[in-house]
Amino acid sequence: MSRILVTGAAGFLGSFLCDRLLEDGHEVIGMDNRVSGQTENLEDAFYHDRFTLYEHDVTEFIHISGELDAVLHLASLASPVFYRDHPIKTLKVGALGTHKTLGLAKEKDATYLFTSTSEVYGDPEVNPQPESYRGNVDPYGPRSCYDESKRYGESLVRAYRDKHELDVRVARIFNTYGPRMRLDDGRVIPNFMKQALTGEDLTVYGDGEQTRSFCYVSDLIDGLVALLESDVEEPVNIGNPDERSINELAEIVLEVTGSDSGITHEELPPQDPQVRRPDISKVRSELGWEPEVSLRDGLRKSLGYFEERV
């Protein structure tokens, strides 16, 4: 059994990761300041007496008594709507929060996992994106608070590895969906599910020909755990390479929900990436991981959750 700190524990991915680590027999310390996390996501985790939750902002000094085997830094504002509303918090959690959690990992001699993002590739000029692609990011653009804080975070992780020989992992997470996403998350799948289930028109931004590649949450968690258990210190993409246009996604959501909602087009947010698809050759060969849940199946699995909440 290991003793593991998970930041962003009350968030969408953080809470599923806590559940998984608890099921695997570990002791889990969750940390969240609930800017975007929701305590109800931890209902299952609280059944375990090996779980504790600290309400703490990871941009402030973190004190944990006793040993830690791993520090997993998931705290972040990952939705474009949230990071547009909280750009300074987004920069702080990616930069200062990464610094504080790295300092803690160094102090405890713990393995450190950083959850980076496909946004480090910006609006990519190469599709699919291999880890070696350096990205096309505007440092002063509307998404830069997120993109640049994650790029800085990766750089800080690299520096701790080089300077302090910290054992590190870097996951570049691509679009992920599933139950526990907030209904007001603002990202495309919760928006479309909510709209389809309430009979509102689905809001496709721009011409809807932009693409994303959607990974179901259980696959993503399997990938993170495989990475943690590996010795791969270089960044790896974790995501599903099944690339779809937003128009296609809208049709699939209508089919899965059986909704007769229409589709309306709204303005494309500035600097919305035109394409996004992970090249997963590296994670496939080095970790033997690849996603298993198809988009239709993942949406069907998520349906009950969204139906309950609308």
Distances (CA, A) of 105 to 1, 39, 160, 175: 18, 25, 10, 27
| Positions 128 through 157 that interact with ligand UDP (CB under 6 A) | none
Site map (CB under 6 A) of ligand UDP, residues 114-133, x = contact: --------------------
Q: Residue 282 Cβ, how far from ligand UDP at the closest point, in Å?
A: 21
State the Cα–Cα distance between residues 105 and 169, nearest whole angstrom.
12
User: Can you read off the two tokens belonging to residue 228?
Assistant: 């943690």
Query: Pick from 6, 145, 168, 204: which binds ligand UDP (CB under 6 A)?
Result: 204
The residue assigned the tokens 């700190």 is 5
- Report DSSP letters for 166-210, one per residue: --EEEEEE--EE-TT--TT--SHHHHHHHHHHHTPPEEEETTS--
Closest approach of Cβ 99 to ligand UDP, in Å? Answer: 24
In the list 5, 212, 227, 261, the residue contacting ligand UDP (rule: CB under 6 A) is 212
Please tell me the distance from the alpha carbon of residue 12 to that of residue 181, in angstroms, as a whole number. Answer: 6
Residue among 130, 269, 292, 296 that touches ligand UDP (CB under 6 A): 269
Q: Which residues of 261-284 are buried (b: 16+ CB within 10 A; e: fewer)?
A: beeeeeeeeebebebbbbbbebbe
Cα separation, 138 vs 156, whole angstroms: 20
HEC profile for 54-66? EECCCCCCCCCCC
**Position among 73, 150, 187, 277 found at the interface with ligand UDP (CB under 6 A):** 187
Q: Examine the residue annotation and report whether 146 is marked as an active-site residue of this protein.
A: yes
> Of the candidates 111, 149, 176, 210, which one interacts with ligand UDP according to CB under 6 A?
210
- Torsional class of 206: left (φ above 0), alpha (ψ -120 to 50), beta (otherwise): left
Name the minimum Å distance from CB 178 to ligand UDP: 13
Nearer to ligand UDP, 72 or 204 (CB): 204
Interatomic CA distance for residues 189 and 285, integer angstroms:
29
For strands 243-245 and 211-213, give the pairing: antiparallel
- Chain position carrying tokens 């608070």: 145
Q: Is 205 in the site for ligand UDP (CB under 6 A)?
A: yes
Strand partners, 116: 172
Q: Choose, by CB under 6 A, the member of 59, 191, 213, 261 that binds ligand UDP.
A: 191
Please identify, using beta-carbon distances, which residue of 101 and 210 lies nearer to ligand UDP. Answer: 210
Under the binding rule (CB under 6 A), the answer on residue 246 touching ligand UDP is yes
| Nearest C-alpha neighbor of 114 from the set 61, 60, 152 | 152
Min CB(96)–ligand UDP separation in Å = 22
The yes or no reply on residue 188 touching ligand UDP (CB under 6 A) is yes
Q: What x-and-dash track marks residues 46-75 binding ligand UDP by CB under 6 A?
A: ------------------------------
In the bound complex, what is the minimum distance in angstroms from residue 243's beta carbon to ligand UDP? 12
Number of residues that bind ligand UDP (CB under 6 A): 14
Residue whose CB is less far from ligand UDP, 111 or 211: 211
Question: What are the residues binding ligand UDP (CB under 6 A)?
Answer: 80, 175, 187-188, 191, 203-205, 210, 212, 246, 268-269, 272
Active site residues: 146
